[in-house]
Amino acid sequence: MRRLRDLLTTRGRAFVAAGITLVLCGIGLGFTDLTRIGVLLVALPLLSGLLMRRHDLRFALERTAVPGRIQVDEQSLVTLAIENAGGGASPLLMAEEQLDYALGDRPRFVVPRLRRGDRQEVHYSVRSHVRGRHRLGPLGVRLRDPFGLSTRVAAISGSSDILVLPKIVPLGGGQPPGSGVGAEGAIPHMVALHGEDDVSIRSYRDGDDLRRIHWPATAKTGELMVRQEDRPARRRAAIVLDSRARGHHGSGTSGSFEWGVTACASVAAHLIDQGYAVHLISDETAEDSRAASAMEVDPLLDVLAMAETGSDDQFADVLQSAHPVTASGGLVLAVVTDLDEELARRVASLRQPGGTALAIVLDPDGFTATRRHRPGSSDELACVPVLRGAGWTVTVVGAGDDLPSVWGVLSGSTSRVGVA
């Protein structure tokens, strides 16, 4: 009975109700013609509903989103190709594409009658203010009879995803302190680009270590040959993201966690562009050990696109994963919320003697509706003096702070109250 109600429209149910009434009245009053009219009114929507169910709604769908990875507020064009895979011609259909709420309004369109094997393409665009992986599909279709008595709703299976990356904010030409060639306090960090030293062979020179003689090459050439290990210089940077749920305030795109994710993405892209080997250390990379390896821009943004707030225990794992990365020096950037003194000391220990360490502290009060971040309010946060005392450059930010300006402060190109 419920399936029948779903099959009939409001008009169809009215026809059935009126028909039953006329049948009862016709029988009670002895009017045969009235009974016949009632039977006809009942039969029309039921017959229409049965005919609706006979339609073969088999379609093959193909979705293509270009580009398939977009940043927040960017637009992607989706092409939906619909092919009739049934045994006969398809009826005229009203269609609605199912989308995650973050992608905006659901597109509605008409699918014309398609002969077997015919193909129809529909184009629509999506845009999201929320990072993450969002679903496209399935396609819902609705079929109605010409009299509007019955309807049939079906979902054509098949869906795809689109990945929305955090927004990359251009940071200008500001470089972190000590990153220039010959700059005071600069400690060049040598890493092999492929995980191992690049080895080449050259002729022996006076003073070369005899233990470096390459005997197979010596036997082949007839003269002493030595191994020369070329270690291309590449500066290393570690970016640490504090994802503790209880430390973040605000909701949605205006919350402190989203501000921090955007900061990590923007600084990472900026440093990679300047030749740094960047390690992202977050809940996600600490869990699967990717924190130990430098990442290029695309995989790093993929991780941040799916970043979520976590527990205090997860942040403890993040700090544990960060220590081997920072132990040999290099630049450290920590994007954290207010820390208690114990956690602040653990974060502070990531900086090595002579190294450069920067901290962006997200002021909890700066991301709430009741209180606003005030310049100079950094003294209220317990972690700030601990980090500064350990040689860190610290800036405290709120929801209204501009990321390029914050980076300018950290890189020393601008000045600001409450930064040291």
For residue 309, what pLDDT band results from cuts at 50, 70 and 90? Answer: very high
Indicate whether 81 belongs to any domain: yes
Same domain, 393 and 251: yes
Indicate whether 150 belongs to any domain: yes
Indicate whether 319 belongs to any domain: yes
CATH number at residue 366: 3.40.50
Q: Are strands 225-230 and 277-281 parallel, antiparallel or unpaired?
A: unpaired
Same domain, 42 and 19: yes
Same domain, 161 and 249: no
Q: How far apart are CA 130 and CA 320, in angstroms?
A: 30
Indicate whether 65 belongs to any domain: yes
**In this predicted structure, what is the pLDDT of residue 221?**
86
**pLDDT > 70? residue 125:** yes
Same domain, 153 and 294: no
Same domain, 116 and 208: no
Indicate whether 177 belongs to any domain: no
**In this predicted structure, what is the pLDDT of residue 188?**
41
275 SS3 class: coil
Same domain, 46 and 72: no
Same domain, 224 and 253: no
Q: What angle do CA 226, 232, 237 make, to 5 degrees?
A: 145
Choose one of 230, 254, 279: the last residue of a domain: 230
Choose one of 180, 211, 230: the last residue of a domain: 230
Indicate whether 185 belongs to any domain: no
**In this predicted structure, what is the pLDDT of residue 190?**
40
**Enclosing domain of residue 140:** 59-165
Same domain, 399 and 322: yes
Report in angstroms the alpha-carbon separations of 38 from 30, 200, 245, 302: 13, 96, 65, 64
Q: Is 12 exposed, middle or buried (0-12, 13-18, 19+ CB in 10 A)?
A: buried
Q: How far apart are CA 238 and CA 325, in angstroms?
A: 7
Same domain, 126 and 39: no
pLDDT in tens, 83-123: 999 888 889 999 999 999 999 999 999 999 999 999 999 99
Choose one of 230, 252, 271: the last residue of a domain: 230
**pLDDT > 60? residue 48:** yes
What is the domain count for the chain? 4
361 SS3 class: strand
**pLDDT > 70? residue 196:** no
**In this predicted structure, what is the pLDDT of residue 304?**
98
Same domain, 37 and 86: no
Same domain, 77 and 20: no
Angle (deg, nearest 10), helices 10-29 and 32-54: 150
Of 137, 149, 143, 157, nearest to 111 (Cα)?
Answer: 143
Tokens found for residue 238: 């570690």
The H or E element containing residue 385 is helix 383-389
Which alpha helices (DSSP H) does 102-226 contain, by range?
215-221
238-252, 296-310, 341-355, 403-417: range with lowest mean pLDDT: 403-417
**In this predicted structure, what is the pLDDT of residue 105?**
93
**In this predicted structure, what is the pLDDT of residue 100?**
94
Same domain, 202 and 105: no
**In this predicted structure, what is the pLDDT of residue 5?**
66
pLDDT in tens, 130-171: 999 999 999 999 998 888 898 888 999 889 999 999 999 999
Indicate whether 131 belongs to any domain: yes
Identify the residue whose tokens are 């939906």.
80
Indicate whether 418 belongs to any domain: no
Report percent pLDDT > 70 for the chain. Answer: 86
For residue 128, what pLDDT band results from cuts at 50, 70 and 90? Answer: very high
